[in-house]
Each structure stands twice: as C-alpha cells, then as structure tokens.
Structure 1
Amino acid sequence: MTNKDIYILCPPNNATGGPEALHQLGHLLKEMGYKVKMLYSKRKMNPVHPFYQNYDVPYTFKISDSPNNIVVIPESMTNWIARYPLSEKKVWWLSLDFYEVLMNSREAKKNWIRKIVVPYKHTEYRFEKDKTVTHWNQSQRTKEFLLTKDLDNPIEYLCDYVTELFFENLPNLNDFEKENIITYNPKKGLDKIGPIINSLPQYKWVPLQGMTRVEMRDLLRKTKLHVDFGYFPGRDKIPREALVSGCCLLTGRDGTSGFKEDLGIPEQYKLHENEITVENASAKINHIMENFETVRQDFLSFREFVMGEKERMIADIKKIFR
C-alpha cells in the first residue's frame, strides 16, 4: 500500500460520467485508508457538485510538485501533466475522444503570441517519453489505442461502477413492476431515434432529462427498454444503470458500444449504422417489448458483470496502488 499523497484532478461542480468516476475513485481510496484529496482545477466557493457530496472526499485547489505525490489526471485534462514533472502521474482514460477534442480546443484558443510565450507547464501532452506517467484504460477500445503508443510503463485497467443509489432496495429480477416504457437520452442520437419514436406511439417514450437521480432510478425500474443509438465515448453509465434496473438494451455500434468487452450484450441488440432504419429498429423494439420476459434473459450475463463492478474496482485499486 503506497504511502504517497494521492490527488485526483477534476473540474469543480461538474456532473457527468467522468467526474463521477473520479469521485468514486476518491471515495474508495479514502475508505481503504489511502491519503487522498480531490484536486479541483478552478477555485470555487462550493466546488463539490451536490451529486457527489455523499462521496465525502476532502479537496484542495493547489498542490506542490513532489516525488511523494501521485496525481490522477483524466484524459480530458492531460495539459496538466507538464505542471508536475516530479510527481507520479496516472492518466485515466474515461473516454478516448475527449483527449483530441479538448486538446485541439485549447490550442485553437491560443493566439500566436501565447503560443510563443506560454510557459512549459501549460503545454499539451502528445505521448512524450516520461517514466513518471502511467496510463489506465477504462475500456477495451482505449486499451487498443494506447497499445499503438510507445509508453514507458505498462497499461493498467481501472473501471468505475454504477453508484449505490441504483442498488438501494433493488427488487429481484422477477419483481420489477415493468410498464410499456422506453427511455432514451435526448442528448445522444436524437436524429436517429426521433422518427422511430413517431412510428411507435403505442409505447410511452420518456427522455432521461430534467429529473433527479432518484427519479431517474425509479423510472428505469419501471422501464422495459432503454434505447441508445448515439456515440459511446467510454463505458457509458446510463446503459449500465438501465441493466441494473432490469431493462433490456438496444444500441448502435459507435465508439465503445462496438466492443463486446465494453458493452457485452448480445450482438443482435447492437445495430450497425445502416440497420438503424424505422422499419428495422421498430421490428427489433416490438420484438423486445412483446417478448420482454423472455428477451431480458439475454441480458443477464452482462447485468451480473455490471453488478460486480465495484468489487472489481476495489481489487484493481489494490493492484495499482500496491
């Protein structure tokens, strides 16, 4: 067990899948007796988002660079690596795409003067040789990307988990009171799912927006099917929450959803781009909804895998911080 001080870099007051995973890591490290703090990237009066206050991780806004530090850095903030040349850095790839997108965005904001005079500590990371940097993959897709790089240290695996809220008073699989409800994320693939919704008015379609986490959990427990034809930048949280809640899934194959290691549902419930048509998707949805009791058996194996994520994360933390 390492005696180093662990700092987890995170944007303040931000509620998305990435920050939740970072707070989960901080919570587990604290519970296991490690010296850990969240390192919020901007000073704010109340930096802890209400969703994550229950993780109860102490925080700071500034640290000194030291060989006695471990700094966990999400892939979206790799420009912070150069700030801590002496510290041990762990880059946690919670998605793949945000690395390039946000790096390019930051570079685009620099005018020619800033590009010349900007201090080294603000430079972008492009996989320069550095023995103080280790990479963690959260998905098979990211692992395959990292294996194409010439890294100084072996890649390590660490995945987050579905929060305990979704396990509170969780019914047995046969005891869920399911209704003819289909949920979807309106922020993802709405152009594809909109025409399908219009073609199937016999079902109650509910967008997952404008509700508390408890309301979302209670809705998913009544839902038969969650549809997501959008892009999966990482191992997306909502489909996993839906599985825990006894739902079936129907997805596309963009991003990590195309990898069986990352979304291990049967292949017939993942549609290729040319298969996401009103006729084909409607037929799939009708089959699932009309044969729900039988079809949900197809999802049991991956549901069990998802339900064991927290225990595996604890085991992986022990390996990483040995």
Structure 2
Amino acid sequence: MKYPSNKVGNIYIFCMPKGRTGGPEALHQLGSTLRSLGKNAYMVYINCEIPDLQKKRSANGLHDVYEFKKFDDPIVPDYMKYGVPYTYDIIDAPENIIVLPEVWSYWLQFGEHLQKYFWWLSYDNALSFVHASGGWDNFHRHDCRHLVQSEYAKVSLRNHGINEVYPLFDFIGSNYFVPSPSDKRVNRILYNHKGAAPAQKLAEMAPEFIWQPLIGLTSEEVWSFFRTSKIYMDFGYHPGKDRMPREAAISGCCVITGLRGAARHFEDISIPGKYKVEDPEQDAAKVIDLVRDIMENFDDHSDAFEYYRRKILSEREEFFLQARNLF
C-alpha cells in the first residue's frame, strides 16, 4: 500500500454514533491528536452497511464521494472535549486515509483508492467480525496497515501470519491523576462486572471488607471510587489493554488481575506477578490472603505499582509520537 507522505489529505476515523466505551474514546483521542499535528482528521459516525451508501461525484469530477447517513447529536458529551469535527462525506482519493476499528473488518472492501488503517483496539472482540467478513484471508485480499493497541494483539496477529504491525496505544485522561492519600481510603475492593463471578465468591470469604461492583455508575462515580478505595480487582477477559486497570492504578489503587488476554502480558498490565492470579477460584485462599495483606500494609503494596503508574503517566506523550510517525 502507499504510505502517507507530506501530501496526506483527509483522515477519516470511523466510529459508532453515541458510542461510550474505551474504543470510541481512543478513536476520539486519535482524532484530537492528529488535529494537534496539523492533520485534517474527521470523525465519521456510522452504523450502516456499505450497500446503504450513496455515491456522488466530486466537484472536480476526479474522485467519487460517498455520502453517509446523518445522525442527530452523534457525539457523546464526554468526548466533546476532544474537539474533533465530523463529516458525512468521504472522498475516495489516494491521499486520503480511513481508520477502521477492529470490529469493522468488512469495511476493508470500501473505497477503491483510500489508504486503510485497521486499528486493533482489542483482539478477542474482533474475532466474530473477522470470521463474518471472510476470515483472515480478508486481510490479504484488501491491503491495509495494522495498528495494535496492545502487546496481546501484536502477538495474536503474528499467530495468523500478520507480522507487520505498528503500535498505537491510547492514554488515560489526566483527571485520574489525582490520587487520594492512603489515610483517606477505605477497605473497599472494587471489581469489574465482567468476570465478576470469582470476585463475588471471594466476597463471601471476606465479608469484613466492602465489595463494590463497578456497574451502572457514571464516570464521575467510578473515578470517586478509584480515589477512595484500596483495591481494584479484574478477572475479565482483557481483550485489549483495558482502561479500568490503568485508571484504578493511576488513581492510587492496588490492582489484582487474572491472566487472560492482555493481562498475561507484562507490557500491557505492568504489575508484579504476585498480583496476577491464574485461577482465582482455585486459588481463592491465596487471593484472600493477598487482599488482607494489602488492607493491612497498603503503603508497602502501593509502592509495587510505581512502575506501572509511571508508564501510564507517559502514555499521552507516547501516543503523540506514535501518531506522528504513523500519519
């Protein structure tokens, strides 16, 4: 494929309208960063199939322009701060780029001349879409550049013969960079509702502590819990370098995870091995011993997460450099 040069035109970043998860936020972060680099980056909010598009000619008659369905208020209020304009028209020209999140591999067939960047914001979440759009051969039939958000995605892609991958990590907002001191924290364990079953069983073994599932809360409520609790526990699938462990750690929590997905890779969740549990149900007694020790010796355990926190603090700068090199 033709990689961008000084003649890069428009960069179109595909995103679901009103999407409010880690993936859509990362896409908006990319748009904001590219615009700070002087690039013509735009969000394109879609939930339509390719045959639903209307094609019209450009004013100069050189390139096709595809017109997308319009949405009222497609941007989540939390992402207005990124200030990325959006468009409903894509010009199919060779100097233009589309950025596709990992769940939209079928969009690789779109556009005859566009450069295509496929961003693996997760790996596990993409698999059903990859198979539905023709399997791994689809990536060989349609040329694209693969960007990865995690070491887990990079390693997994290599298992499918995709060796040329480029890092593009997201970052945690600075609003989380204000941890409370240990004497302001209560003996509370927060846990992700994804993979909650092991945590719920552990809660029965240690009822002396507060066990709080993170579900049905606003972002402000989650942030408040992170700042005033001692432990964040996550036994989910970790399909990518998830935000919640990073948000918890940088807010001052100690983090305990399983070893599934990205959690198995130190590059993605950079915490000492004693805080990662292979089988939280089989090793429940060991986990509870660790929890009790953290509650009693919080400051000592908190120091073990200093490397992870420093990495998180440097993510924004790293993302800026990666985006500059890629686009």
Pick one of 157, 180, 193 that aligns with 2:187: 180
| Alpha carbons 1:232, 1:254 under 8 Å: kept | yes
Provide TM-score, normalisation by structure 1.
0.87
Shift of 1:149: 4.2
Greater CA drift, 64-73 or 306-315: 64-73
Shift of 1:219: 1.6
- In structure 1, what is the equivalent of residue 95 of structure 2? 68
Pick one of 270, 274, 280 that aligns with 1:268: 274
Q: Which amino acid aligns with 1:60?
A: T
Change (3 A) 1:276 1:28: farther
Pick one of 37, 54, 60 that aligns with 1:32: 37
Shift of 1:255: 0.5
**Residue 146 (str. 1) matches residue 157 (str. 2):** yes
- Distance, in Å, in 1 between the alignment partners of 2:150 and 2:118 is 13
Change (3 A) 1:4 1:132: farther
> Matched residue of 2:91: which SS?
coil
Count of residues in Structure 1 that have an aligned counterpart in Structure 2: 300
Pairs within 5 Å for 1:1-322: 3-42=8-47, 43-104=70-131, 107=132, 126-129=137-140, 132-151=143-162, 154-167=164-177, 170-171=178-179, 174=181, 177-186=184-193, 188-273=194-279, 276-321=282-327
Cα displacement string for residues 22-61 of structure 1 (whole angstroms, at most 9, x for unaligned residues): 1111111112211010011134211111221111111123
> Matched residue of 1:59: which SS?
coil
- Distance, in Å, in 2 between the alignment partners of 1:124 and 1:242 is 36
Identity of aligned residues (%): 34
RMSD: 2.1
- Distance, in Å, in 2 between the alignment partners of 1:239 and 1:189 is 14
Cα displacement string for residues 251-300 of structure 1 (whole angstroms, at most 9, x for unaligned residues): 10010100111111000100002665432221121111111110111110
Q: Which amino acid aligns with 2:144?
A: V
| Alpha carbons 1:176, 1:222 under 8 Å: kept | no
> Matched residue of 1:305: which SS?
helix
Shift of 1:132: 4.3
Greater per-residue helix proportion? 1
- In structure 1, what is the equivalent of residue 66 of structure 2? none
Q: Can you give the 5+ residue segments of structure 1 that lack an aligned partner in the other structure?
A: 108-121
Q: Can you give the 5+ residue segments of structure 2 that lack an aligned partner in the other structure?
A: 1-5, 48-69
| Alpha carbons 2:29, 2:82 under 8 Å: kept | yes
> Matched residue of 1:63: which SS?
strand
| Alpha carbons 1:78, 1:124 under 8 Å: kept | no
| Alpha carbons 1:176, 1:221 under 8 Å: kept | no
Change (3 A) 1:2 1:124: farther
- Distance, in Å, in 2 between the alignment partners of 1:265 and 1:2 is 42
Cα displacement string for residues 205-228 of structure 1 (whole angstroms, at most 9, x for unaligned residues): 122122221222122111110001
Change (3 A) 1:125 1:146: closer
Provide TM-score, normalisation by structure 2.
0.86
Greater CA drift, 141-150 or 125-134: 125-134
